Amino acid sequence: MIKRIDHIGIAVRDLEQQVKLYSEVFGLKCEGTEEVPDQKVNVAMFPVGEVRIELLQPTTDDSPVAKFLEKNGEGVHHIAYLVEDLESNLKSIEEKEVRLIDREPRTGAGGHKIAFLHPKSTFGVLTELCEH
């Protein structure tokens, strides 16, 4: 089902400051920044080989990332795996009694189809599946 890791999401309070760390200190090239209204975040993407680091800053107080920052502070927020045919994978995951956050794909960064699995069903790791 899973092809590879697509990206690792990191929750940050100040996107601009963190972009400086990843570009100026780590020497990575930012692929772009964008607002993802459906997820209430601003994101900056940094490719590292085939995987990307996705920095996530909340745009509203009720953003899932705002809640995460309040509770945990900055840090790793989720792991996203690349899949083909997200819809049919969601159906088969649900049949295996894993709790889904999204039963239907939503629109994530880059306009990709995404869906989250609940961390209570995945041993505390918020897991995203995405299809390009």
Which positions touch ligand CMX (CB under 6 A)?
Answer: 9, 36, 39, 41, 43, 54, 56, 64-65, 67-68, 71, 77-78, 101, 108-109, 116, 118-119, 124, 126
Which is it for the CA torsion 36, 76, 85, 101, positive or negative?
negative
As measured in angstroms, the least distance from the Cβ of 77 to ligand CMX is: 5
Give min distance, CB of 104 to ligand CMX, in A. 14
For ligand CMX, the closer CB: 46 or 68:
68
Closest-CB residue for ligand CMX?
Answer: 64
Task: Tell the smallest beta-carbon distance from residue 27 to ligand CMX (Å).
Answer: 24
Is the Cβ of residue 77 or residue 113 nearer to ligand CMX in the bound state? 77
Rounded Cα–Cα distance for residues 89 and 129 (Å): 9
Pairwise CA distance, residues 92 & 98, whole Å: 9
Tell me how far apart the alpha carbons of residues 37 and 39 are, in angstroms, rounded to a whole number. Answer: 5
CB-nearer residue toward ligand CMX: 28 or 106: 106
Q: Do residues 77 and 10 make contact, with C-beta atoms less than 8 angstroms apart?
A: yes
Q: Which of 116, 111, 9 is nearest to 55 (CA)?
A: 9
Residue type, position 20, single letter: K
